Structure 1
Amino acid sequence: IHTGTLNEAGFVEDTIAAFKNRVIHTYHTEGAGGGHAPDIIKVCGEANVLPSSTNPTRPYTLNTLEEHLDMLMVCHHL
C-alpha cells in the first residue's frame, strides 16, 4: 500500500482498519515521500505489516548534500 500524504482518502487509523489483519507491504513507512505524514510509522506496530523505506540518495556522490537537505526538509516537515 502507498498512502497519500494529504489524508484525502482517510487517516492512518482508517488505513490500519482496512488491513483486516492481512499481510501488507507498506511503502514510505518512515513518513518521507508520502503516506499519512507524520503518522504512517504507527503501522510498524501492527501485526502482519512489512514496512519499507526508501533510500532517496546515494552516499558520496555528486548531489548527496543537496539531496539530503531536501530529504531532511520532507522528513521533518520543515
Structure 2
Amino acid sequence: ADEYDIQIALHSDTLNEAGFLEDTIQAINGRVIHIFHTEGAGGGHAPDLLSMAALPNILPSSTNPTKPFTVNTIDEHLDMVMVGHH
C-alpha cells in the first residue's frame, strides 16, 4: 500500500486469532488506515477497537460502504444496511 499509494481497509479478527488490539496497532505502525466496525458491533477487536478511533491515523467507520476513496458508496450502502445491519 505504501509503495502504490492505495488505501487499506481493516476488518480485524473478532476472536483475536491473528493477535490482539495492541498487535494490530503495532502492525499499522502509524500508517493511515480505515477500520470497519469501530463501534464493536460487527466484529473486530470488540469492544477494544473503539479505542482506535482516538488515534490520529485512523479513519473509523461502522460499515464497509463508508470507504472514503471509492466511487460506489451510495449505490452499495442501502443494500448493505438493509441486509447486514437491520
* TM-score, scaled to structure 1: 0.67
Mark the structure with the bigger radius of gyration.
1
The alpha-carbon deviation at position 30 of structure 1 amounts to: 0.5
1:1-78 to 2 correspondences below 5 Å: 1-54=10-63, 67=86
Alignment RMSD: 1.7
How many angstroms apart in 2 are the aligned matches of 1:35 and 1:23? 18
* Unmatched 5+ stretches in structure 1: 59-66, 68-78
The alpha-carbon deviation at position 29 of structure 1 amounts to: 0.5
The Cα offsets for residues 13-59 of structure 1, whole Å up to 9 and x where unpaired, read as 1101111111100000000111011111011111210000138755x
> After TM superposition, what 4+ stretches of structure 1 lie above 6 angstroms from structure 2?
none
> In structure 2, the residue corresponding to 1:42 is in which secondary structure?
helix
Task: Return the structure number with greater relative CO, CA threshold 8 A, min gap 6.
Answer: 1
The alpha-carbon deviation at position 11 of structure 1 amounts to: 0.6
How many angstroms apart in 2 are the aligned matches of 1:9 and 1:41? 18
> In structure 2, the residue corresponding to 1:44 is in which secondary structure?
helix
